[in-house]
Structure 1
Amino acid sequence: MKPLIQDQKARIASLIKRSGKLLFAAFLCLGLPAASQASHDTGVFELDQNAVDNPLTPGGDANLIYCDHIDPDRVGMCAGIAASTHIVSTFYRDKVNDPNDDIFAGAKDSNDILGGKRDWGWKLGSANDKNDIGSVFISLERAPGVDVNNDGKDDYFLFFGLDAFSENGDAAIGFWFLQNPVTPLPNGDFSHGHVQGDILVQADITNGGRVGRYDVYTWGPNDALNQPVAPSQGELTLAIESSDCGDSAANDEACGVTNATDAVAPWPYTTKGVDGNSPTFPPITYFEGGLNLSALYDGEIPCIGAYIAETRQSQSETAELEDMVINQFDLCSLDVRKTGPELSKVGDTVSYTVEIENDGALPITKSSITDTLVNDLTDGSNPAITLFDNCGDSLDAGDTCTIEYNYVVPEMAGPLSNTVTATYLFGSDIASDTSSHEVGLFTPSVSLDKQVGDGNGGFNDGPAQILQGDAVNYRISVSNTSSANTPTLSCTVTDNTLSIDPNNTDGDGDPSTIDVMLAPGGSTNITANSGALNNPGNVVNVASVSCSPAGFVNVVNDSDTVTVRVKRRESTITVTKTGDNYTKVGDDVAYTITIANGGGSDSDLTLDSIVDNLVGDLTDGTHPAITSSDCPVAPATLNIGNSCTIQLTRETLATDSDPVTNTVTVQASDAFANTASDMDSHEVDVVAPAITVSKTCLNEPVEPGTSANFRIDITNTGDVDLLVDISDSVLGINQLDVMFGTSGSCTYDNDPSDGCLRIEAGVIAGTSPVVNQVDITATLPAVTGLANVLNDSAGDTCDVEQGGDATRTLGFWKSHGSDGDRNYPSPVQLGYTCHIARDHVGFPINLGWKTLHSCADVFGIFWSNMGKQSDGDRRTQICRTKLHSSWQLMAAILNDGLSNGATVPTDPDSGLSLIDAMVEALSGNNRKEINRLQGQLDEYNNSGDDVSIEDADGAIIPQADPNGTRDLANYEAGDC
């Protein structure tokens, strides 16, 4: 049984039992009034100041609840005591007069248990005598004929009570009925707080043995209550005011009583001042009360999940709580039970049965029933469901429904786990439970091994050789190789060649079959004799086994074959010829010929002839192709069991076929005029390795300073794979052991497996033509055993454009100050402008009015503002003129520094070069002269702009980066 949304186990297991159809049986003859009744006159439970049932009075009592839990079958101490009519009940014995009792540690009924203004706490300790709880009982009953709400349904009643250790003074007793499954936590807190509608019954017991006050509260407002709302403490709302059940003013829907005099204690009871168990409850130590739940909630009672029995220091709702008993008490509960086979295997059908029982107190409505293997079990169209029994829309208390369904075990490793989850509703409350089942998956398998005797008492897998008329022994070994959980295999072993069951032990009358039983890991051996084998040739002997696990129809099989070669009883000779696997025209092929006397007739043999169809007669051992031989010169004797070897070579001819097939034939005879002969052939593949290489310039003529690009094509034109080394020092190529395959048609890409490879690479051109050569060396793979080496090479030249005198405009030098990511190889690091200024022109650079000492100064001239100096002051007119003219002057100085820079013209007025003339003019303040020279410098800077730059340093000109040197510029260099 699983409680409503229970997220923690109760600290102390609550014993809850359903009484089934006994609920109303005891009251069929009671004439109960139709109007509202007090909880003590329902005829269901005796609220009569004692715990012992009076058979003459309608209704049960607390001793019946006690017996339900400690002796439900009434075969022991409860023999003869009737069963109670409860729907759900519990009985619990708390620690008494014990320092390790669980008691409250700061708690009030007016505070929330958890999450309120002030939480509850608990601890281990000893309660004071009058507040020390002994035993607690609770029972949910239904009173036939009592229908306060006129809803056509009998009302639900709660009956509950406890006994206390001492009767000293007045007592305050309380019972909480909680919808959350509240449990105490190890840290002194509680697992849950209140929810609206939780019930508190508070009873004040006077020293005279009366219940002076019996009030029922709910937590939070309760719109369903028909009682006036009295002043509340915290979230407590007074719902019912009542008193002692014997009072005429007691409310019909709730009341309580206590024993005014001694009352019989029907369970072990400890009281103050008594050594051991007391047979009676002293006055005001036993309390019992009742509550009409249906009246309190207008018929719609909640799903109670736990209870707390408590005592207080005083009778105020805000007083500190003392002792406590807390346990589960579930009104909405579901029990799911899933059954199925314990064992199955992949591919078999597994049948499951699911039983869903409402083991709570209230009727619940189905929400969902799902299975982790076949999904929705409420879907009548689900093909796996074979019986959709009585799992309708709802389940009444005590009812059970059943679903049966099948599942085919898929390919998987065991075990097969499966979980069913059922969820039912009571209003918005949820009752849910799961049940899992595990099917062990076994793997049946069998192994059969058939062997033949070796003549020395042992057995092997063969093949074996015997002479005509001889016999052999066989052994058939059968092993159960199944998984350990597999049932015993029932097996039939069959051998159609042998008589493996001559005594008919299996009773089938067939000597070629025998039945055996094998547990997992077990094995058996079956031996049989072949009898005389008279027909030469191979005797193939097959044995098989077919098994089924006990209780299953599955079949597993295995078989094994042994071959016995029956030899004629005559002389035999064997010849074996081996040799190289590959050759090519002009190469020698090495052969080895081995001749052996098999001795079938126990005689020596005379070698009469040894002939090779390509080499010729090898009988006398003098043939020039023979490199060594230990064979006797024919006609000579080769003794029984002996062998000899001839080694020879033969050159591969251009006229030979491919492959070259070579056969040797040996003729022999024995002393009894028996003849024997044998032959063997060898094939050697003839290969023709060849390779070519070509090299082509792709982009001539090439501009100086740009890449001269070449294409290299290498082609395996032969019929055998080649390992190729490729070397080109100019292009930086050095590839070793590149495997070239062979192909009828190839593509020139970067994959040589089809016999072709294309490599494209380049080198930066200078001013001279670019000449280079590629060399290849090819060898045959080691598998061929051939050591031939092929070489080839190819070269080409890329012509270089021969330019004139180069210049670049001011915009070029300003935008090539930086290479952007500064990732170019030396000597260009901060851009080409810096490279020419630093490495070609050299610092310092004299501008007449300024001397530049670094690339940052050069960048400062180019990027200085015409209107303002670096400190923000406005420039004078002559200052602007000098800065503006310095841009053209700086560009001209850099152009003059190029390796093929155009010659700087001479100024006709001064007779100086334009650069020197401008330097002299900038040292003065003649704006007219400065502007005149500036125009001539601009013409010079544009004169060779279409001519490629040739750099003697081999430097590469990086891409333009218009703003790359702004952050590197020294702007003070442009100040006047």
Structure 2
Amino acid sequence: MLLCLIAPSALAQGVDDPNGVFQLEGNATKDASVCFPSLATPNPGCPAGSTLVTFGANTDDWSNLSHALATTGIINDGSGHGDTILQGGSSKDINDFGAWGWKQTATTSVQAKDDITHAYAAAYALPNGHTAIYFGMDRFDNSGDATAGFWFLQDSTVSTNSTGGFNGHHVDGDLLIVSDFSTGGAVSTINVFKWVGGANGSLVLNESRSPAPCDPTMGTNTLCALVNPIDGVSSPWGFLNKSGDTTFAHGEFLEGGIDLESVFGSNVPCFTTFMAETRSSTSPNSTLSDFVGPVSFPLCGIRVTKSCNGPGSVSPDGTSVTYTWTATVTNSGIGTLSNVTLNDTYPDGTTASIPVAASLSGGASASVTVTFVATNSNCHSGVTNCPSPLDATNTATAQGTTAGGVVITSPLPAATAECRTPVSSSVAITRACDAANGGATLVAQNGQVVVEVFFTADVTNTGSSQLTNITLADNPAATILPSSTIASLRPGESAHVTGFYFPSVVAPGSCNFSDVIRVTGATATLGGNPTPAVGCPSPSDLACAPATCPLCK
């Protein structure tokens, strides 16, 4: 019996490094260790021809993708009759998606060896800082070799449509990995293609590896794949092959990985979409058979959060409220985004495109401040996000442009933040005898000597909202100058009035004359009107002030 223990190596750094991020050993389950390539369970060693591989504690496998940057999850695809398949002689990898066709009826099917049952992809950050994509599929039958293709696309709109065609287009830098799906063991050839140009571009071979087996005993491959070499390999998800087995027979499970920097250098595209396919030949001119997807593969992403910066600021004149929000946009993918913009909807429903950053690298964030001034003219009943100037809700999405020229947008729902502002509405009044005019004095009127009382009063807005239509009255009735109505008062502003009256009754032996000036009404521009004061002549009075003027001085 041959036993070799593979020690952790800080220098491996390949996609198949057993101490890296993902287990490429030929099965879909997370293992502490395995005999490679036989997949035998160490007992305690390995059979001749196999090497004991011990995996790092933080490595994932398809049964556990907890450390992935992005993943499609396990995508189920129908098998046998009723499968969704590609159709038409133009459904080829060399053509843009507008030429592709698909169909699904009760009888549609492909050859069992080309029939995909599940497909999957995941992205990881390698220990060396590179980004790796892992890909795989399982198939309905192992009755012969097939060719598997894995597309990684930048246009998030690529999808099937209801007329049997495809939406979306290729973008410069789209990636296609084509691998043999052999009947078990090493993969003989992997071809890596890049799409060059836009919708009218072409598929160009970037790299070809032959042979290209993953080898976790070395862990140095930047591109590799392998197929399960034995029968009875457990499936972590529901699986049923043509023979009725719920485990993978040899050659029914394919997995691989690629270091994206080995293909793109530092300019890794911002992939958003994944699709898997099969065809009968390795030639890119071959007509395609089965497919899975397209599905979201958010290696490229953008998100936005919105927060209220506290209660709004009431203007000095008390007629408006200024709100601010902080919007933070994060590049949640790996590729750099340019022209990052906030698509903001103000509380009154108007919109604006606000520049955030000319360039935003993967994982980075940038913030902007959004400002809005609320008044009674733009915030009132019927305005959903601003029913009054004191309650304003701001919403936003964000967008950025990938290196391939694709504009991506943050997912819905939009980021939302509500701000509220408290205000106070109150008024005060003071009164005094008008000494300059004699206060209470004797005057001749219609051949009689009567008492005339002169007074002054100051009305002050003691709240934080503007007050308008402030009305005054006096008990007993008096003439108030310049008017008994004050048009408006800003917060903290006062208005000075004067007045006079003729007492109708003079108490015997009294030289003192008293009256009460009252604020009988006022309208607040912001918030509710002032509330009535206590102790005034009328229960609806907002403020009052009594004063006594002596005739005898």
TM-score by length of 1: 0.35
Match of 2:115 among 121, 125, 132: 132
SS in 2 for 1:295: helix
Match of 2:167 in 1: 191
AA aligned to 1:91 is: G
**Aligned equivalents of 1:89 and 1:540: distance in 2?**
78
Match of 1:358 in 2: 331
Match of 1:407 among 372, 375, 381: 372
Match of 1:52 among 8, 29, 33: 29
Match of 1:312 in 2: 279
Retained in 2: the 8 A contact 1:342–1:438?
A: no
SS in 1 for 2:332: coil
Q: 1:748-773, CA deviations, whole angstroms, 9 ceiling, x for partnerless residues?
A: xxxxxxxxxxxxxxxxxxxxxxxxxx
TM-score by length of 2: 0.59
Does 2:137 align with 1:167?
A: no
Q: CA deviation at 1:340?
A: 4.3
SS in 2 for 1:296: helix
Retained in 1: the 8 A contact 2:29–2:236?
A: yes
**Aligned equivalents of 1:264 and 1:186: distance in 2?**
37
Q: CA RMSD in A?
A: 4.7
Match of 1:329 in 2: 297
Label 1:342 to 1:284 Cα distance change in 2 as closer, same or farther (>3 A): farther
Sequence identity (%):
24
Does 2:31 align with 1:31?
A: no
Going by fraction, where is strand more abundant, 1 or 2?
2
AA aligned to 2:291 is: M
Retained in 1: the 8 A contact 2:110–2:290?
A: yes
Q: CA deviation at 1:286?
A: 1.0
**Aligned equivalents of 1:427 and 1:315: distance in 2?**
29
Retained in 1: the 8 A contact 2:309–2:326?
A: no
**Aligned equivalents of 1:250 and 1:174: distance in 2?**
23
Retained in 1: the 8 A contact 2:119–2:138?
A: yes
Q: Which runs of 5+ in 1 are unaligned?
A: 1-28, 66-82, 146-153, 223-232, 379-390, 447-493, 498-533, 563-976
Give 1:520-539 correspondences, 5 Å limit. Answer: none
Match of 2:242 in 1: 272
Q: CA deviation at 1:257?
A: 0.5
Q: 1:620-657, CA deviations, whole angstroms, 9 ceiling, x for partnerless residues?
A: xxxxxxxxxxxxxxxxxxxxxxxxxxxxxxxxxxxxxx
Label 1:134 to 1:415 Cα distance change in 2 as closer, same or farther (>3 A): same
Retained in 2: the 8 A contact 1:42–1:143?
A: no
Q: CA deviation at 1:335?
A: 0.7
**Aligned equivalents of 1:92 and 1:38: distance in 2?**
20
Q: CA deviation at 1:183?
A: 0.9
Match of 1:296 in 2: 263
Retained in 1: the 8 A contact 2:306–2:417?
A: no
Match of 1:214 in 2: 190
Match of 1:829 in 2: none
Q: CA deviation at 1:256?
A: 0.6
Retained in 1: the 8 A contact 2:91–2:287?
A: yes
**Aligned equivalents of 1:166 and 1:554: distance in 2?**
75
Retained in 2: the 8 A contact 1:140–1:157?
A: yes
Q: CA deviation at 1:352?
A: 2.2
Label 1:341 to 1:404 Cα distance change in 2 as closer, same or farther (>3 A): closer
Q: CA deviation at 1:445?
A: 13
Label 1:304 to 1:348 Cα distance change in 2 as closer, same or farther (>3 A): same
AA aligned to 2:228 is: N
Q: CA deviation at 1:91?
A: 0.9
AA aligned to 2:55 is: T
**Aligned equivalents of 1:93 and 1:330: distance in 2?**
15
**Aligned equivalents of 1:400 and 1:130: distance in 2?**
47
Retained in 1: the 8 A contact 2:341–2:357?
A: no
Q: CA deviation at 1:495?
A: 12
Match of 2:207 in 1: 239
AA aligned to 2:100 is: W
- Count of aligned residue pairs for this structure pair: 393
AA aligned to 1:188 is: G
The higher radius of gyration belongs to: 1
Match of 2:226 in 1: 257
Q: CA deviation at 1:47?
A: 1.1
Does 2:343 align with 1:397?
A: no
AA aligned to 1:285 is: E
**Aligned equivalents of 1:289 and 1:37: distance in 2?**
12
AA aligned to 2:384 is: P
AA aligned to 1:121 is: G
Give 1:854-865 correspondences, 5 Å limit. Answer: none
Q: 1:844-898, CA deviations, whole angstroms, 9 ceiling, x for partnerless residues?
A: xxxxxxxxxxxxxxxxxxxxxxxxxxxxxxxxxxxxxxxxxxxxxxxxxxxxxxx
Q: CA deviation at 1:216?
A: 1.4
**Aligned equivalents of 1:38 and 1:342: distance in 2?**
48
Label 1:404 to 1:341 Cα distance change in 2 as closer, same or farther (>3 A): closer
Q: CA deviation at 1:431?
A: 4.1
Q: Which runs of 5+ in 2 are unaligned?
A: 1-6, 33-53, 387-393, 426-471, 476-504, 507-514, 540-553
SS in 2 for 1:212: coil
Q: CA deviation at 1:271?
A: 2.4
Retained in 2: the 8 A contact 1:110–1:234?
A: no
Label 1:244 to 1:347 Cα distance change in 2 as closer, same or farther (>3 A): same
Retained in 2: the 8 A contact 1:201–1:216?
A: yes
Label 1:432 to 1:444 Cα distance change in 2 as closer, same or farther (>3 A): same
Retained in 2: the 8 A contact 1:259–1:284?
A: yes
Retained in 2: the 8 A contact 1:339–1:352?
A: yes
Instruction: Select the structure with the greater relative contact order (CA < 8 A; seq sep ≥ 6).
Output: 2
Label 1:99 to 1:341 Cα distance change in 2 as closer, same or farther (>3 A): farther
Match of 1:286 among 231, 236, 253: 253
Give 1:494-893 correspondences, 5 Å limit. Answer: 544=520, 555-556=529-530
Retained in 1: the 8 A contact 2:131–2:261?
A: yes
Retained in 1: the 8 A contact 2:213–2:226?
A: yes
Q: CA deviation at 1:409?
A: 0.1
Give 1:483-502 correspondences, 5 Å limit. Answer: none
Q: 1:885-917, CA deviations, whole angstroms, 9 ceiling, x for partnerless residues?
A: xxxxxxxxxxxxxxxxxxxxxxxxxxxxxxxxx
